[in-house]
Amino acid sequence: MDAKVTTQAAAQQADILLRVNNLKTQFSTHRGTLRAVDGVSFDVRKGETFALLGESGCGKSMTALSIMRLVPQPVGRIVEGSVHLGDVDLLQRSEMDMRSVRGGRIAMIFQEPQSSLNPVLMIGEQIIESVLCHTPLKRAQAKARVLELLDAVGIPDPVRRYKEYPHQLSGGMKQRVMIAIALAGEPELLIADEPTTALDVTIQAQVLALLSDLQKQTGMAMLFITHDLGVVSDIADRIAVMYAGQIIEQAGRDTFFSKPRHPYTCKLFESLPRANKRDESLAVIEGSVPSLLTDFSGCRFVDRCDYAWDTCRQRVPRWLGNEEYGVRCHRFDGEVEQVEHKLVEKTLETKIQAQASSHTLLKVDNLKVYFPIQKGLFKRTVGYVKAVDGVSIDIAKGRTLALVGESGCGKTTVGKGILQLITPTLGRVEFDGRELTTLDKKTMRGLRSDIQIIFQDPYSSMNPRMMVKDIIAEGMIAQNTVATRGERDRRIDELLQQVGLSVDSKQRYPHEFSGGQRQRICIARALAVKPKLIICDEPTSALDISVQAQILNLLKDLQQSQGLAYLFITHNLSVVEYLAHDVAVMYLGRIVERGPVRTVFAQPAHPYTEALLSAAPTLDDESQRDVIRLEGDLPSPAAPPVGCHFNPRCPKVMEECRRLYPEKVNLDKHHIVRCHLFKKE
Amino acid sequence: MLAYIARRLLYAIPILVGVNLITFALFFVVNSPDDVARVHLGGKHVTEEAMTKWKADRGYDKPLFYNPDASGADKFRETIFFDKSARLFVFDFGAADDGRDIAYDIRQRMWPSLAIAIPSLLVGLLVNITIAMILAFFRASYIDIAGVIMGVVLMSISSMFYIIGGQYLVSKSLHLVPISGYDDGVNAIKFLILPVIVGLIGGIGSGTRWYRTIFLEEINRDYVRTARAKGLLESSVLFKHVLKNAMIPILTGVVVILPILFMGSLITESFFGIPGLGSYVIDAIQAQDFAIVRAMVFLGSVLYIVGLILTDISYTLVDPRVRLN
Amino acid sequence: MHLLGYQFSPLWTDWLVYLLVFSGVAFFLYARRHEHLVRPWRQVAQRPLAMAAALVLMAYIVIGLADSFHIREQRDNGGVSDGPVFSSEVVSLLDIALTTLRERQEKTYSAPFALNSYAKESIELAAGAIVRDYPRLQYGGAHLEDLSQRQADIIAKALRALIESVLVFLVITAMLNYMLSRRQAHGFSRQLLLLIRGDSKLPWRSLLLTGFAITLTSLLLVRLAPYYHVLGTDKVGQDVLYLSLKSIRTGLVIGGLTTLFVLPFALTLGIMAGYFRGRIDDIIQYLYTTLSSIPSVLLIAASVLMIDVYIQNNADQFPTIAERADARLLFLCLILGVTGWVGLCRLLRGEALKLREIDYIQASQAFGVSHARILSRHILPNVMHIVLITLVLDFSGLVLAEAVLSYIGVGVDPSMISWGNMINSARLEMAREPIVWWSLVAAFIFMFLLVLCANLFSDAVRDAFDPRVHGR
Q: pLDDT of A427-480, one tens digit each? A: 999 998 889 998 888 889 888 999 999 998 888 999 988 889 999 999 999 988
Question: What is the chain C residue with the closest CA to B303?
Answer: C293
CB pairs under 8 A between B and C: 133
pLDDT in tens, C178-188: 888 888 777 78
Q: Is residue B29 part of a domain?
A: yes
Let me know: does A327 contact A309? Beta carbons within 8 Å. no
B301 contact C CB<8A: yes
User: Is C298 in the B-facing interface, judged by CB distances under 8 Å?
Assistant: yes
Which residues in chain B touch residue C402, judged by CB atoms under 8 angstroms apart?
none
Q: Are C240 and C439 in contact (CB under 8 A)?
A: yes
Residues of A in contact with C34 (CB under 8 A): 465
Neighbouring chains to B with at least 3 Cβ pairs closer than 8 Å: A, C
Per the domain annotation, does B96 fall within a domain? no
A187 with A220: CB under 8 angstroms? yes
Does the complex come out with an ipTM higher than 0.85? Answer: yes
Determine whether the interchain pair C366/A419 forms a contact, defined as Cβ–Cβ distance below 8 Å: yes
Report DSSP letters for A576-617, one per residue.
Answer: HHHH-SEEEEEETTEEEEEEEHHHHHHS--SHHHHHHHHHS-
Q: How many Cα atoms within 13 Å fall on the side-chain side of residue A376?
A: 7
Is residue A37's pLDDT more than 70?
yes
A: neighbours with 3+ CB pairs under 8 Å?
B, C
Outline where chain B has alpha helix (H).
2-24, 33-40, 48-58, 74-77, 80, 102-137, 142-155, 159-166, 189-219, 222-229, 234-236, 243-257, 266-272, 277-286, 290-318
Please check whether residues B154 and B201 belong to one and the same domain: yes
- In this structure, what DSSP letter does residue C110 have? B
The answer to whether the CB atoms of A74 and B140 lie below 8 A apart is yes
Name, in order, each residue with C-beta under 8 angstroms of A643's C-beta and a sequence gap of 6 or more: A656, A657, A658, A659, A660, A661
Residues A396-442 have pLDDT tens digits of: 999 999 999 988 888 999 999 999 989 899 999 999 888 999 888 88
- Name the neighbours of C, counting chains with at least 3 Cβ pairs within 8 A: A, B
Q: Is the pLDDT of residue A348 over 90?
A: no
Mean residue pLDDT across chain A: 87
Q: What pLDDT digit, counting tens, does each position of A82-115 carry? A: 999 988 999 999 988 898 899 999 999 998 888 9
Backbone angles phi, psi at C132, to 5 degrees: -100, 115
If you average pLDDT over residues C57-78, what whole number do you get?
86
A465/C373 CB distance under 8 A: no
Does residue A343 carry a pLDDT above 90? no
Q: Please name the residue of chain B whose CA is at the shortest distance from the CA of residue C441.
A: B161
pLDDT band at C77; cut points 50, 70, 90: low
Split at pLDDT 50, 70, 90, the class of B66 is confident
Inter-chain CB proximity B18 and C290 less than 8 Å: yes
> What is the residue-wise DSSP string for C312-372?
HHTGGG--SHHHHHHHHHHHHHHHHHHHHHHHHHHHHHHHHHHHHTSHHHHHHHHTT--HH
Mean pLDDT of chain C: 87
Of A307, A314, A302, A312, nearest to A342 by C-alpha is A307
- What torsion, rounded to 10 degrees, do the Cα atoms B310, B313, B319, B325 define? 140
Q: Name the more confident of A358 and A177.
A: A177
Which residues on A lie below 8 Å from C369 (Cβ)?
474-475, 478
Same domain, B59 and B175: no
pLDDT at residue A451, rounded to an integer: 93
Question: What amino acid is encoded at B98 in this protein?
Answer: D
Mark whether B230 and B269 lie in a shared domain: yes
Closest-CA residue of chain C to A415: C366
Compare all CA atoms of chain B with the CA of C469 and give the residue at the minimum distance. Answer: B217
More confident residue, A353 or A79: A79
Q: What are A635-664's pLDDT values in tens digits?
A: 888 888 999 999 999 988 898 899 989 988
pLDDT in tens, B130-179: 999 999 888 888 999 999 999 999 999 998 899 988 888 888 888 888 88
Q: Which helix (H) or strand (E) holds A496?
A: helix A485-498
Compute the distance between CA of residue C302 and CA of residue C311 in angstroms, rounded to an integer.
14
Please tell me whether residues B220 and B73 are part of one structural domain. no
- pLDDT, position C470: 44
Q: What pLDDT does A528 receive?
A: 93
Residue C472 has pLDDT above 50, yes or no: no
Instruction: Give tens-digit pLDDT for A213-250.
Output: 999 999 999 999 999 888 898 889 999 999 999 999 99
Task: Give Cα separations from A425 to A369, A385, A437, B81 (angstroms).
Answer: 5, 12, 10, 47
Do A448 and C362 lie within an 8 Å CB cutoff? Answer: no
Where residue B129 falls (left for φ over 0; alpha for ψ -120 to 50; beta otherwise) is alpha
Domain boundary among B56, B90, B124: B90
Which chain B residue has its CA at the smallest distance from A183's CA? B230
C455 Cβ neighbours under 8 A, 6+ residues apart: B152, B155, B156, C396
Instruction: Flag whether residue C293 sits within 8 Å of chain B, measured between CB atoms.
Output: yes
Q: SS3 for A215-268, per residue?
A: HHHHCCEEEEEECCHHHHHHHCCEEEEEECCEEEEEEEHHHHHHCCCCHHHHHH
Q: Say whether pLDDT at C434 is over 90.
A: no
Count CA atoms within 13 Å of residue A192 on its CB side.
34
Which chain C residues are Cβ-neighbours of B290 within 8 angstroms?
Answer: 302, 305
> Is B14 in the same domain as B80?
yes
Bridge-based pairing state of the strands A49-53 and A221-226: parallel
Torsion angle of the four alpha carbons A655, A659, A661, A667, in this order, in degrees rounded to the nearest 10 = -20
Do B241 and A118 make contact, defined as CB atoms within 8 angstroms? yes
**Residue B214 sits in the same domain as residue B279:** yes
Note whether B163 contacts C: Cβ–Cβ < 8 A.
no
Residue range A513-522, pLDDT digits in tens:
888 899 999 9
Compare CB distances from B156 to C305, C396, C423 and report the shortest one's residue.
C396
Average pLDDT over residues B172-192: 83
Is residue B80 predicted with pLDDT exceeding 90? no
Question: What's the mean pLDDT in B278-292?
Answer: 87
pLDDT at B324 exceeding the cut of 90: no
Would the pLDDT of A8 be above 60?
no
What is the distance in angstroms between the Cα of C408 and the nearest Cα belonging to chain B?
6
Same-domain pairing of B179 and B297:
yes
Nearest CB among C301, C309, C468 relative to B293 is that of C301
The shortest CB-CB distance from B160 to any of C305, C407, C435 is to: C407
DSSP states of B31-67: S-HHHHHHHHTTSS---HHHHHHHHHHHTTTS-SS--
Whether residue B151 is found in the same domain as residue B278: yes
Going by C-alpha positions, the residue among C221, C181, C172 that lies closest to residue C63 is C221
Average pLDDT, stretch A475-492?
A: 89
For chains A and B, CB pairs below 8 A equal 86
Q: Is residue B187 part of a domain?
A: yes
Answer whether residue B194 is part of any domain.
yes
B186 and B151 in a common domain? yes
Residue A140 Cα distances to A156, A163, A186, C48, C187, angstroms: 21, 15, 19, 57, 76
Instruction: Provide, as residue numbers in chain B, all residues whose Cβ is less than 8 Å from the Cβ of C294.
Output: 19, 22-23, 297, 300-301, 304
Asked which of B26, B60, B90 is the last residue of a domain, the reply is B90
Our CA-based measurement puts residue C275 at a distance from the nearest CA of chain A, in whole angstroms, of 14
Higher pLDDT, B104 or C107: B104
- pLDDT more than 90, % of chain B: 31
Find the CB nearest A102 among B10, B230, B240. B230
Residue C38: closest C-alpha in chain A = A465
Q: Using CA atoms, how far apart are residues C436 and C231, in angstroms rounded to an integer?
A: 11
Whether A28 shows a pLDDT value over 70: the answer reads yes
CB proximity B176 to C under 8 Å: no
Tell whether C286 is within 8 A of chain B (Cβ).
yes
Give the residue, C216 or C31, on which the prediction is more confident: C216
Question: Does residue B307 sit within a domain?
Answer: yes
The neighbour count for residue A152, using CB atoms within 10 Å, is 18
Flag whether pLDDT at A285 surpasses 60. Answer: yes
Same domain for B262 and B154:
yes
Residues A24, A80 contacting (CB under 8 angstroms): yes
At A272, the pLDDT band (50, 70, 90 cuts) reads confident
Query: What local confidence, expressed as pLDDT, does residue A197 receive?
Result: 86
What's B272's domain CATH number? Answer: 1.10.3720.10
Contact A465 C363 (CB under 8 A): no
Interface of A with C (CB under 8 A): 30, 416, 419, 421, 444-446, 448-449, 451-453, 455-457, 460-466, 474-475, 478-479, 509, 522, 525, 529
Q: Look at residues B224, B320, B236 and name the one whose alpha carbon lies nearest to residue A132.
A: B236
Handedness of CA C238, C240, C246, C250 (dihedral sign): positive
CA distance A120 to chain B (A): 6
pLDDT at A5 over 50: no
**B-chain residues within 8 Å CB-CB of C401?**
none
Say what the pLDDT of residue A2 is.
45
The angle, 0 to 180 degrees and rounded to 10, between the axes of the packed helices C240-276 and C48-66 is 110
**What percent of chain A has pLDDT above 90?**
48
Whether residues B291 and B147 share a domain: the answer is yes
Is B320:A165 a contact under the CB 8 Å cutoff? yes
pLDDT at A349: 52
Residue A154 in this model has a pLDDT that exceeds 70: yes
B126 and B246 both lie in a single domain: yes
pLDDT tens sequence across C384-426: 889 988 888 889 999 999 988 988 888 888 888 999 999 888 8
Q: How many CA atoms lie within 13 A of C394 on its CB side?
A: 25
Domain-located, residue B99: no
Higher pLDDT, A30 or A591: A591
- CB distance from B177 to chain C under 8 Å? no
Number of domains in chain B: 2
Find the domain containing B53 and state its range. 2-90
Domain boundary among B35, B59, B90: B90
Mean pLDDT for the stretch of residues A589-602: 92
Chain C positions in Cβ-Cβ contact with residue B15 (cut-off 8 Å): 286, 289-290, 293
Mean pLDDT (chain B, rounded) = 86
* Contact status of B152 with chain C (Cβ, < 8 Å): yes
Range with top average pLDDT, A10-24, B30-44, B187-201: B187-201
Which among B206, B180, B188 is positioned nearest to B279, based on CA atoms? B180
Contact A478 C368 (CB under 8 A): yes
Looking at chain C, which residue has its C-alpha nearest residue B155?
C452
Q: Which range is most confident: A63-67, A111-115, B291-295?
A: A63-67
Q: How many degrees, rounded to 5, is the angle at CA C369 between CA C366 and CA C371?
A: 115
pLDDT the model gives residue A369: 93
- Please judge whether C367 and A448 are an interchain contact, meaning their C-beta atoms are less than 8 angstroms apart: yes
> What's the CA gap between B83 and B93, in Å, rounded?
9
B114 inside domain:
yes
Q: Do B160 and C404 touch (CB under 8 A)?
A: yes
Report if pTM > 0.95. no
Name every residue whose Cβ is closer than 8 Å to that of residue A322 and which is 6 or more positions away in sequence.
none
Query: Stretch A195-206: mean pLDDT, rounded?
Result: 88
- pLDDT-derived band at C20 (thresholds 50, 70, 90) equals very high
Spatial contact of A665 and A675, defined as CB atoms under 8 Å apart: yes
Q: Is the dihedral of CA A300, A306, A311, A313 positive or negative?
A: positive
Closest alpha carbon within chain B to C420: B160
- For residue B264, pLDDT over 90 is answered with no
Rounded to an integer, what distance in angstroms lies between the CA atom of residue A207 and that of residue A209?
5
Q: Would residue B98 count as lying in a domain?
A: no
Is C82 a residue whose pLDDT tops 80?
A: no
Checking if the pLDDT of C250 tops 80, the result is yes
Distance CA(C180)–CA(A259), nearest Å, equals 59
